[in-house]
Amino acid sequence: MPESFKNGIVERVFRNFLDLMILRLVQIEPMWGYKIIKHVEEQHQIRLRHGALYPLLNKLEKSGFLRSKKETKGGRIRKIYEITSKGIQLAEAYDEFLRGELKKNESTKILQE
């Protein structure tokens, strides 16, 4: 039961915060769309639809959260995305919120023990 909860949560986070998940992923290691899909599939057992991902990547680049450079690997074109300083700011804001939320619950747990 507790494990199934976790799967559902991971799915929800990727559905609703896909942009932030991508920013954090790309912050750790610059990547192209196809690799992001495979990476998320492996790491979280979650199917990302490319029909949702590619438009989002383009949107994030237009908004200045990501920048891309094209690389040709054996005839195939890859658009490798990097996080920008604006993107880092957004990711940081998210982290700050998460840290704050966790802190709240840590103190609750101490009270309940």
Partner DNA sequence: TGAGATATGTCCGAAACAGGACATATTGTA
Partner DNA sequence: TACAATATGTCCTGTTTCGGACATATCTCA
Binding site for a second copy (CB under 8 A): 1-2, 5-6, 9-10, 12-13, 16-17, 20, 24, 27-28, 86, 89-99, 101-102, 104-105, 108
- In the complex with DNA, the residue whose CB is nearer, 49 or 104, is 49
Chain position carrying tokens 């610059």: 30
Residues near 71 by Cβ (< 8 Å), separated by ≥ 6? 32, 77, 78, 79, 80
65 binds DNA (CB under 7 A): no
Stretch that binds DNA, among 1-9, 20-28, 76-84, 86-94 (CB under 7 A): 76-84
Q: Which two tokens stand for residue 98?
A: 């998460």
- In the complex with DNA, the residue whose CB is nearer, 6 or 73, is 73
85 binds, among a second copy, DNA, none (CB under 5 to 8 A by kind): none
Residues near 39 by Cβ (< 8 Å), separated by ≥ 6? 25, 31
